[in-house]
Amino acid sequence: MKMTRRAFCAGLAAVPLARPAQAQDMALLTAKAATVQLAPGGYPATPVWSYDWTIPGPVIRAAQGSRLERRLMNTLEVPTSVHWHGIRIDNAMDGVAGLTQNAVPPGESFDYAFKLPDAGTYWYHAHTNSMEQVARGLSGALIIEEATPPDVDRDEVLMIDDWLIDPDTGLFIDNFAAPMLRSHGGQIGNLVGVNGRYDYRLSARQNERLRVRLINSANARIFGLKLEGLTGWKVALDGMPLDTPEPVTDTLVLAPAQRMDLIVDVIAAEGETAGLLFAAADDTWRVLADVSVDGRAASVPRGAPQPLPRNPRMEVVGVDAAPVLEMPLQGGAMRGLESATFNGQRLGWQELVEKGQYWALAGQAGLGDTPLATLSRGETARIRTTNDTIFPHAMHLHGMHFRVRRADGRLGPLRDTVLVMPNETTEIAFVADNPGKWLLHCHMLGHAASGMTNWIMVT
Ligand code: C2O
Ligand code: CU
């Protein structure tokens, strides 16, 4: 008898299974409490919230144009959801609790299944009480591969993070709602690391060519980065290829949630130092990822790399004629707010502070019933953010990438998160080609949780 798939499944159902039968239909991503050694040996291990037991979660790789399917199993004691940061995704799969789905209660699951239109470096993270859940470890890299990958010897994902840990107990310092942090620059960790390790190291050979995918998954830290013993080109930002690879000449700045793909050549010889350095608070350069050079891959370095293949729909057209929406960024320590709308009420600064709201986007603190803007599908939109606060903000739009429109009208690279410095005005322009409810928020997660979150509607 030829066994059909149906018969096979029916046959299996008769025997007791260790896992629920449905679990075979879809790969799992389990949100799970775990204990991980984040601090150096000799310090206690840290209880974390993980995806599949590791910090960061597993690197998920999929082919451009394919569908990604994951069943989120929530075994935590708190509700959660997963956001697939930077994917131009079907709105129902965007993972924003309270806007695109209900948070998944403890013990329950949610099926994420969506198409992957773009190749590039993305990431996934919790989007329910993100300030705490991402800080406790709920994030991972999401790599969408080009049909024809660039000519490199290796592909390395470096997920850069910081953790705020009590060295005596190993516990995360539970100050996630602390007004002092939320109203200032956000939660900055006391331990910095890559891929869950404070002492991340790679080995490489001289003249080897690596694709390095940098992801900043920190809650609030803006990383200043520098290459040592390596030379390279920027080839993509926030997943999207640059038209021309740009040689890395000075400090690279990576704000929370931003990604940067580099193609680097190892120029250091065997025994010389190489790696990725970060600017510490005391203005010294410290090692973030150490590259030990063993042997030689080729006798001569290679020439400049080709640009990565373009993704679809990268053009932003009709920008000059598009209407401009003003979105001042306001509030925070030292400046405060005269008033803002919160839960449908106009409140003064003191009342906002009592409700834990320190920030506003265009006069609105937190999500309101009505969007900041309603756009019709296909329309080009411009949003002008003027930073009236004394802090930098990493502004992120869900569902669509944008280009920064410079003062002279020229457009910058396509990306999904832009760093807006104090007293700076940054205008973003995008084609509203993805229908649904899309969040627009600061990715300093403490800011997002205390006012800096709004949404737009595309109909
Ligand atoms: Cu990285 Cu609202 O997301
Ligand atoms: Cu902010």
Among the listed residues 312, 397, 306, the one whose alpha carbon sits nearest the alpha carbon of residue 118: 312
Instruction: Report yes or no: 25 and 70 within 8 Å, Cβ to Cβ.
Output: no
Please give the distance, rounded to the nearest whole angstrom, from the Cα atom of residue 81 to the centre of ligand 1.
12
Q: What is the mean pLDDT of residues 415-421?
A: 98
What does the alpha-carbon distance between residue 451 and residue 436 come to, in Å, rounded to a whole number? Answer: 22
Q: Which two tokens stand for residue 284?
A: 């010294």
Please give the distance, rounded to the nearest whole angstrom, from the Cα atom of residue 85 to the centre of ligand 1.
6
Q: Which two tokens stand for residue 441?
A: 């928020």
Nearest atom within ligand 1 for CA of residue 85: 1
What does the alpha-carbon distance between residue 177 and residue 22 come to, in Å, rounded to a whole number? Answer: 38
Name residue, tokens 């834990």.
Answer: 356
Please give the distance, rounded to the nearest whole angstrom, from the Cα atom of residue 185 to the centre of ligand 2.
7
**Could you tell me the sign of the dihedral formed by the alpha carbons of 399, 312, 239, 213, in that order?**
positive
Please give the distance, rounded to the nearest whole angstrom, from the Cα atom of residue 72 to the centre of ligand 1.
17
pLDDT band at 14 (very low <50, low <70, confident <90, very high): very low
Instruction: Report yes or no: 103 and 128 within 8 Å, Cβ to Cβ.
Output: yes
Query: Which ligand is closest in space to the CA of residue 128?
Result: 1
pLDDT above 80: residue 325: yes
pLDDT band at 24 (very low <50, low <70, confident <90, very high): low
Please give the distance, rounded to the nearest whole angstrom, from the Cα atom of residue 437 to the centre of ligand 2.
21
* pTM, two decimal places: 0.94
Query: Which ligand is closest in space to the CA of residue 256?
Result: 1
pLDDT band at 11 (very low <50, low <70, confident <90, very high): very low
Instruction: Report yes or no: 55 and 141 within 8 Å, Cβ to Cβ.
Output: no
Q: Which two tokens stand for residue 81?
A: 């959801």
pLDDT at 18: 42
Instruction: Report yes or no: 371 and 458 within 8 Å, Cβ to Cβ.
Output: no
Determine the distance from the C-alpha atom of residue 183 to the mean position of all C-alpha atoms in its chain, rounded to a whole number. 22
Q: What is the mean pLDDT of residues 400-419?
A: 97
What amino acid occupies position 337?
L
What does the alpha-carbon distance between residue 454 and residue 459 come to, in Å, rounded to a whole number? Answer: 17
Binding site membership of 259 for ligand 1 (Cβ less than 6 Å): no
| 3-state secondary structure at position 110 | strand
Nearest atom within ligand 1 for CA of residue 86: 1
Binding site membership of 83 for ligand 1 (Cβ less than 6 Å): yes
For 200-226, write each residue's pLDDT tens digit.
999 999 999 999 999 999 999 999 999
Binding site membership of 441 for ligand 1 (Cβ less than 6 Å): yes
Nearest atom within ligand 1 for CA of residue 96: 2
DSSP assignment of 145-201, as one string? Answer: E-SS--S-SEEEEEEEEEE-B-TTT-PBP--TT-HHHHTTT----SEEEETTBTT-E
In the chain, what is the straight-line distance between the N-terminal and C-terminal CA atoms, in Å? 52
The per-type count for the chain, helices as H runs and strands as E runs, is: 5, 33
Among the listed residues 438, 318, 432, the one whose alpha carbon sits nearest the alpha carbon of residue 375: 432
- Provide the strand spans (E) within 338-379: 339-342, 345-348, 359-361, 373-375
Q: What is the torsion angle, in degrees rounded to the nearest 10, for the CA atoms of residue 271, residue 275, residue 281 and residue 282?
A: 20
Q: What is the mean pLDDT of residues 227-235?
A: 97
What amino acid occupies position 193?
G
Instruction: Report yes or no: 170 and 46 within 8 Å, Cβ to Cβ.
Output: yes
Please give the distance, rounded to the nearest whole angstrom, from the Cα atom of residue 139 to the centre of ligand 2.
19
Q: Strand 109-115's sheet: what is its strand order?
A: 46-51, 28-36, 67-74, 109-115
Please give the distance, rounded to the nearest whole angstrom, from the Cα atom of residue 439 to the centre of ligand 1.
8
Please give the distance, rounded to the nearest whole angstrom, from the Cα atom of residue 216 to the centre of ligand 1.
12
Q: Which two tokens stand for residue 206?
A: 């001289």
Kindly report the protein residue whose alpha carbon is nearest to atom 3 of ligand 1: 85
Query: Which ligand is closest in space to the CA of residue 387?
Result: 2
pLDDT at 22: 52
Kindly report the protein residue whose alpha carbon is nearest to atom 1 of ligand 1: 85
Binding site membership of 257 for ligand 1 (Cβ less than 6 Å): yes
**Which is it for strands 402-405 and 373-375: parallel, antiparallel or unpaired?**
unpaired
| 3-state secondary structure at position 133 | helix
Helix (H) or strand (E) holding 260: strand 259-266
Collect residues with CB below 5 Å from ion ligand 2.
393, 442, 444, 447
For 114-144, write each residue's pLDDT tens digit.
999 999 999 999 999 999 999 999 999 999 9
Please give the distance, rounded to the nearest whole angstrom, from the Cα atom of residue 457 to the centre of ligand 2.
22
Nearest atom within ligand 1 for CA of residue 125: 1
pLDDT above 70: residue 426: yes
Tell me whether the omega of the peptide bond preceding residue 20 falls within 30 degrees of 0, making it cis: no
What does the alpha-carbon distance between residue 89 and residue 128 come to, in Å, rounded to a whole number? Answer: 18
Burial class (CB in 10 A: 0-12, 13-18, 19+), 312: exposed
